[in-house]
Chains A and B, each alone.
Chain A
């Protein structure tokens, strides 16, 4: 079990190279337990790659990281148990129903047998899936599929929730629903959430802190309250930092 003062996510010098291309270059950051952090950046900034390394889908080229005190390389299984992950495309089996699918995930995420049924019911209920729990996933709308993806990520009550662009491709109403859902999940104050997006409004609506990535580097790491306290908007800061970085790169 993790130490009380151990950060929920700790990343130090994390890097990923594909041949000559450096997708992530020496990333450092920490997320304290209960914090909701927005992972922001233009497409190709390395958000997905970083999340895939944290969840153990991709190995890192360099650096280290831990989830709830478990090193993602040395203690991979424990780290994976502590993480709930919704990839960019929700990993669904179209022929299953939300109920059977979430039950399957509960099994492979090692929810104890005695608690499994209750955990599945709770996850489905929290994601508003009670009405469609026995319909085939292939028949569900994109918004509902996203909810099934979320239910899958929370069924084992992970310490850390990693959500990769959870609202991409949804209509405005579905976007609002998913955001409300994420906010509700975070409302307990115990759930750590790392959420990637390139929609600024989303970060403002959900997150307490923002980490801005650009071309594999962290260019900003600040609480949202601080940013808006100066009277600035997230968009201004975002544009300023990114253009400054452009200038720096050109020089």
Chain B
């Protein structure tokens, strides 16, 4: 029950902070711009196809593959850079305010703190996802996107966001400085989200170890990319869902350990 007390306080604190509004404004503006750009691109493509009378291509073109999927895919990349601003203060501000001492001397558990923070962050990214979902929803008024595929894309964004919040909680718990928490979250997210596959390629290049090797596959699995790609295409696989659950659990467990370790020193 204390989880919700912690989460509620944190969520309210998030919404009185200017950072939240800067992030939400940027997020909305970027989403709007991207959506408009994708929409114009889609329209031009359709016109071209019609001009050249390429009916097979027109038949194969649809709102989901050519518009919604790339749109949500690019918002996921934006998320990597904006989310750290949301999560940077989650635990670090407790240390800076001295309120860590209040929480740790209260009859609540460290899980209450960690999960409460995570839940508050999840609530915030829920709103961010809703903003993104608004745009594809518009398409239902004028066209006929596939419900399942669209929904799977939105759910995918939500799950990625929530997983990344767990990363943010962890980064925020290792320091009392919001700036350090921000940078650390950014580094971790860029690693998880973008760099891991490249790092594997570069490290394996010329080593004689193939890309099919166990190491390459494990690291590839750790990267968010492949899981996101499949889900954006509308393929909801338990393996991918498990990835989000496991990644969240790992980072939350790490956060709990870090907060607890304040008591070992």
Contact = CB atoms under 8 A, between A and B. Distances in A.
Same complex for A and B? Answer yes
Interface of A: 18, 52, 55-59, 77-78, 80-81, 83, 85, 87, 89-96, 104-105, 107-110, 152
Is chain B's interface secondary structure helix, strand, loop, or mixed overall? helix
Given A58-B263, A59-B263, A94-B97, A108 B103 contact: yes
A81 B108 CA distance: 10
B97 A57 contact: no
Interface string B135-161: 000000000000000000000000000
A104 B99 CA distance: 12
Contacts of B17: 95
A152 B102 contact: yes
Nearest to A59: B263
Contacts of A18: 265
Contact of A91 (B2, B98, B107, B263): B98
A194 B136 CA distance: 61
Contact of A57 (B2, B6, B105, B107): B105
B13 A107 contact: no
Is chain A's interface secondary structure helix, strand, loop, or mixed overall? loop
A81 B102 CA distance: 12
Contact of A77 (B9, B99, B107): B107
A93 B99 contact: yes
A58 B263 CA distance: 5
Contacts of A89: 98
B98 A90 contact: yes
Given A58-B263, A59-B263, A108-B2, A92 B108 contact: no
B76 to A, nearest CB: 31
A109 B265 CA distance: 25
B115 to A, nearest CB: 14
Contact of B264 (A52, A59, A104, A107): A59
Contacts of B106: 80, 105, 108-109
Contacts of B104: 56-57
Interface string B76-118: 0000000000000000000001111111111110000000000
B214 interface: no
A54 to B, nearest CB: 9
Nearest to A76: B107
Given A83-B105, A108-B108, A91 B97 contact: yes
5 contacts: A91-B100, A91-B102, A93-B97, A107-B5, A108-B6
A107 B98 CA distance: 19
Given A59-B263, A91-B98, A94-B97, 18 more contacts: A55-B105, A56-B104, A56-B105, A57-B263, A59-B264, A80-B107, A81-B107, A87-B101, A93-B9, A95-B13, A104-B9, A107-B5, A108-B103, A108-B106, A108-B107, A108-B108, A109-B107, A152-B102
